[in-house]
Structure 1
Amino acid sequence: MKSLIIPALLLSLSAHAQQAADSKPATPAPAAAPAQPFERALKAESAVSKSATVMIKGKAVPYKVTAGTQPVWDKDGKVIASLFYTYYQRSDVADKARRPLVLSFNGGPGSASVWMHVAYTGPKMLNIDDEGYPVQPYGVRDNPHSILDVADILYVDPVNTGFSRILDSKADRATFFGVNADISYLAEWLNTFVSREGRWTSPKYLIGESYGTARVAGLSLELQNAHWMYLNGVILVSPTELGLKRDGIVGDALNLPYYAATAWYQKALPADLQARDLKDVLPEVEAFTVDELIPALAKGGFLDSAKKAGIAAKVARYSGIGEKAVLQHNLVIPTNFFWKELLRDQGYTVGRLDSRYKGIDKSDAGASPDYNAELTSWLHSFTPAINHYLRDVLQYKTDIKYNMFGSVHPWDNKNDTTGENLRKAMAMNPYMKVMVQSGYYDGATTYFDAKYTMWQLDPSGKMKDRLRFEGYRSGHMMYLRSEDLVRSTDDIRDFIKQTTPAANQPARY
């Protein structure tokens, strides 16, 4: 009977307790805590994935996209930072051993890998017009020219760009912020990613834009020497100097072909030049730059006055800047002055990174523009698009700000040997080839300077058949112009095809 007494006692006590509770005033229930789907702190390890399909070149390409974070460890195995990445894999490929993998970086330093991600090589692209200008509603649409049909793609945001952050407050910033530090920790991170994803057997490519070209040039040797990871190719989009010096008169002279391209686009050249196609004009300007302008500048103040006048006339003819201003600048037109002066009479400035863009200054007077017209336009379209895509489409939930540009200062620029590193990597790896892509209207990393960089990569000339240059009728991000997006992505497809060796083809000289 004991087993029945205890339940009866419990029921009696419960009834008395309920009567007591009923005699007291009701206490309002505490409000439910609001849902917290977002977090301000970055997780060292995270991932969200989804599947989708995109039409590329008229064919359906199914893929899996993963957005997530992977740690950066110090030498003792402690997590000190985490990098955000977006990884696209074509999902109908059974054997990844022959499937190329493209590792993509942008520049700055301090810039996220947003630009090529949602405007160039990825399966989604900005909602912009055919010339690259913002339109509303903001957002993304399918990219029918993505290279995902021929290669999987990994976009990496270095520390303090995108969602990537330092997690250990005691970590030394010098671990991340410098030419060689950047290369070192990113190579280690890539080694881990390739290992985790089982991509060691895949043909691998690095693509970098702007400062990202220094990054990937350095990574080509670091991956090879420190991680024994050999590449098939490196693509340099709007390359920097890569530590290959051209100080003084050479650097000054190399701007002129870019000036000519911009003046042609803005219809500021003499009528006879303006009537010719751009690609017919530029070789003439390039030849003058190398054969006449550089030797003239080498003589400095001792250049014969008649010769100086003749050179000034040609510089003015090719640049769209008046002879008087050319002579006042001793034959060397500063870039800031050019951007301000070219369309001064029309009340406009021209953009630095893409001189197709026009700006309006407070005053027409002055020696440089008030702002970069092109960068303002790009941030206008890219920022809402990437935030919408990552947060709303891919459902990567965080309250962390997506840094289009993050703080990476002080940046250590010492000992930049990235161009020489690329040369060494090529020499040591017979498979490796390099393609340079430049926009004619880019005034920050000019197309002729990029050609000079390519020429100087291999002074011996023994590897020049493994170096390729492609120019486009747009600016720093040539792919924003729809016609150039088609051509530049096709150039990458062709480059991958040409650098993927046949089965059992040996890497040998």
Structure 2
Amino acid sequence: MRLLLLVVCLAVPPAGLATVSRAVADTPAAVPSAPAAEAPAPAAPRLPGPSVTRHELVLPDRTLAFEATASAITITAPGGREEADLAFVAYTIDGEEHGRRPVTFLVNGGPGAASAYLQIGAVGPWLLPLGGDRIVPSQPPDLLPNPDTWLDFTDLVFIDPVGTGFSRLVDPDDRTRSRYLSVDGDAKVLAEAISRWLVDNDRVGSPKYFVGESYGGFRAPIVAQHLRDDHGLALSGLTLVSPVLDFGWWQQPDYAPLPMVTLLPSLAAVHMDAEGTFSEEALRAAEDYAAGDFLADLLRGVHDRAAVERLVDRVSALTGLDRAAVAREDGRIDAGEFARESRRDEHLRTSVYDATVTASGRDRGSDPVLDAMTAPLTSAMLGLYRDTLDWLPNRDYQLLNADVTRGWDWGSHRGQPEAVTDLADLLSLDPALRVLVTHGRTDLVTPYFGTELILRQLDVSGSGDRLRQVTYPGGHMFYTRSDSRRAFRADARALYVGQSG
């Protein structure tokens, strides 16, 4: 998951956290993915035809019989030239009138992240338990039946955008890269793939939903607009998981106050969790201070020593950081500084994806959450494709592709990439649309309070009943914690039941 100037899973990671996850499929001759060089890369082998398998998932309180389809959708240029293969896995329940059953399309973020995080981490029929307090890269990649799957109340289609999972450009060149690895091009292609799946499977009449995590949450309103305007297909609901709605809030100089305001409540939550003193009332108090006196003293500047002293005292108390460390920064603490300082005396480094999770060694190194889950997720997905879905292409599987992240074209959105305008327009035009926004309270990559401050600004009649934000224990991938994953499922189910009821 990553952050662009911030986001992975995910979105683009903070400087120094970018990684490439590349596991070679268990086949004789895996072909490396296309490099970002100017010279044309050799075309990757095409993806195999669909594999359809039937399964029965036995859970403690129910049994689900369903069909799984692993396949790809080939996207063509207007002239008919084949340009890209988008891999997907679809799970459809048995014994239902499919034309009226909800169907949900799910993507992760990056840009450059495959949908494995949501598929086997939260929503799909099988789960890779990762543990909330510590993620171990060498854990067995054994999948278990997922009691928190959403398959009860919606069919599920997990899509891997170009450059992630097994999805690739057919014949990479500068023109196709520009189309597929860009804000608008990516959204248009995802909308086209969704439209194609709906038509091919006779599901145009089904209630349609979209789930996006991190940069996938940024994608969601833009994809919804293209589905509506380009294909005549309206979504019934959106679920945004740890989203970035406005990159302009984050891509600011060090002195800008908004990133510090949005981060402070999450830092306070980390400290309260560590002390065992967390309460919703205390978190609300931290939010009120962040958007009130904290912001006012930040704006007074570093030369107002009385304001600086107030900041240092209060920030040190809220975050648990050593007062001297806070004073060195004039009360202005960012995610990197907190990760370095919060557990320094214990010789631990802190994850920015969930600041309650640490690893030994206080020097900079791999992130204890994002990088720790790369190997088990990748291995588990390869096992799922080979042993359960009977579909394992002859190419690399890419969980996180740093080439996609680095090469992303922000196009006309470069000044301030944001999806808030599209979200507001969707809510304004469609009074039946429902949106669930979810965050982990100790996520320092996409802090929940930033989203809350943005959503407060939306002036859409009746949006309070249709636009809901929920914050769970945990970080960017809060669903690695079983209690948060269970609560997430309950809140999602309420979105679907409310829409159909």
Equivalent position SS for 2:121: coil
Which one of 213, 218, 221 corresponds to residue 225 of structure 2? 221
Distance in 1 of aligned mates of 2:460 and 2:106: 29
Aligned residue in 1 for 2:5:
none
Task: Please give the per-residue CA displacement for 1:135-183, whole angstroms capped at 9, x wherever unaligned.
Answer: 7432211101100000000000000100001112345210111111111
Residue identity in the other structure for 1:173: R
* Structure 2 gap segments, 5+ residues each: 1-26, 32-43
Aligned equivalents of 2:159, 2:312: Cα separation in 1:
46
User: 1:301 corresponds to which letter in structure 2?
Assistant: V
Contact 1:96 1:199 in 2 (8 A): yes
User: SS where residue 259 of structure 2 aligns?
Assistant: helix
Mapped contact 1:253–1:332 kept (Cα < 8 A):
no
Q: By how many angstroms is 1:291 displaced?
A: 1.3
Tell me, yes or no, if the aligned pair for 1:113 and 1:157 is still in contact at 8 Å: yes
Give the direction of change, closer, same or farther, for the CA distance of 1:97–1:57 in structure 2 (3 Å limit).
farther
* Corresponding position of 1:411: 408
Q: What is the rounded CA distance, in whole Å, between the counterparts of 1:184 and 1:498 in structure 2?
A: 29
Deviates more, 1:235-244 or 1:205-214: 235-244
- Shift, 1:250, TM fit: 1.6
CA distance in structure 2 between the partners assigned to 1:84 and 1:38 by the alignment:
19
CA distance in 2, matches of 1:289, 1:73: 49
In structure 2, the residue matched to 1:43 is 46
Q: In structure 1, how many angstroms separate the alpha carbons of the residues matched to 2:435 and 2:129?
A: 31
**1:433, 1:439 → 2: CA distance?**
20
- Equivalent-residue separation in structure 1 for 2:29 and 2:154 (angstroms): 33
The 1-side partners of 2:461 and 2:189 are apart by 32
- Alignment of structure 1 residues 273-352 onto 2, 5 Å: 274=276, 276-301=277-302, 303=304, 305-352=305-352
Distance change (3 Å), C-alpha of 1:43 and 1:37: same
* Match in the other structure for 1:237: 241
Q: Which residue of 2 aligns with 1:152?
A: 155
Within the alignment, does 1:65 sit opposite 2:73 as a pair? no
For residues 2-39 of structure 1, the C-alpha deviation after alignment (integer angstroms, 9 at most, x for no partner) is: xxxxxxxxxxxxxxxxxxxxxxxxxxxxxxxxxx8987
The CA distance in 2 between the partners of 1:242 and 1:90, in whole Å, is 36
Instruction: Give the one of 155, 170, 178 matched to 1:174.
Output: 178
Report the CA distance shift for 1:57/1:470 in structure 2 as closer, same or farther (over 3 A): farther
- Report the number of matched residues: 451
Q: How do residues 94-113 of structure 1 correspond to structure 2 at under 5 angstroms?
A: 95-113=97-115
Q: Please give the root-mean-square deviation of Cα atoms over the aligned residues, in Å.
A: 2.1
* Alignment check: 8 A CA contact 1:43 1:69 kept: no
Q: Structure 1 stretch 210-219 or stretch 109-118: which is displaced more?
A: 210-219
Matches of residues 339-378 of structure 1 in structure 2 within 5 Å? 339-361=339-361, 363=363, 369-378=364-373
Partner residue of 1:118 out of 120, 129, 147? 120
Q: Structure 1 pair 493/255, CA: closer, same or farther in 2 (3 Å)?
A: same
User: Once the 2 structures are TM-superposed, how far is the Cα of residue 498 of structure 1 from its aligned partner?
Assistant: 1.1
Match for residue 25 of structure 1?
A: none
Distance change in 2, residues 1:253/1:214 (3 Å):
same
Amino acid at match of 2:391: Y
Q: Using a 3 Å threshold, how does the CA distance of structure 1 residues 226 and 243 change in structure 2: closer, same or farther?
A: farther
Query: Which residue identity does 2:409 align to in structure 1?
Result: D
Cα deviations by residue, 1:361-380 (Å, 9 ceiling, x for unpaired): 364xxxxx322111222113
For the pair 1:256 / 2:253, whether they are aligned, the reply is: no
Greater alpha carbon shift after TM alignment, 112-121 vs 251-260: 251-260
Whole-angstrom CA distance in 1 between matches of 2:84 and 2:497: 36
Cα offset, 1:355, TM superposition: 1.5
Q: Within 2, Cα distance between the matches of 1:492 and 1:431?
A: 16
Letter of the aligned partner of 1:384 in structure 2? S
Alpha-carbon separation, structure 2, partners of 1:211 and 1:392: 30
The answer on whether the counterparts of 1:37 and 1:398 sit within 8 Å (CA) in structure 2 is no
| Residue 402 (structure 1) aligns with | 397
Residues 76-107 of structure 1: CA distance to partner in whole angstroms, max 9, x if unpaired?
Answer: 121111000000000111x1232111110000
Find out whether 1:381 has 2:389 as its counterpart: no
TM-score for both structures, normalised by structure 2: 0.85
CA contact (8 A) 1:354 1:474 kept: yes
Match in the other structure for 2:442: 441
Q: What are structure 1's unaligned runs of at least 5 residues?
A: 1-35, 268-273, 364-368, 503-509
Q: Deviations over 1:415-466 (max 9, x none)?
A: 134221121112111111111111111110112122223223x145652322
> Secondary structure at 1:116's aligned position in 2?
helix
Contact 2:51–2:69 at 8 Å: present in 1 too? yes
Q: Percent identity?
A: 25
2:19 alignment counterpart: none
1:454-509 deviations in Å (ceiling 9; x for gaps): 223x1456523221011111111111111111111111111111122x4xxxxxxx
CA separation in 1, counterparts of 2:362 and 2:130? Answer: 28
Distance 1:332 1:473 in 2: 25
CA contact (8 A) 2:300 2:307 kept: no
Contact in 2 for aligned 1:106/1:113 (Cα 8 Å):
yes
User: Mapping of 1:74-89 within 5 angstroms?
Assistant: 74-89=77-92
Amino acid at match of 1:427: S
Partner of 1:482: 482
- Partners in 2 of 1:228 and 1:55 — Cα distance? 38
**Contact 1:38/1:398 (8 A) holds in 2:** no
> Which stretch shows the higher mean deviation, 467-476 or 49-58?
49-58
- Determine which structure has more spread, i.e. the larger CA radius of gyration: 1
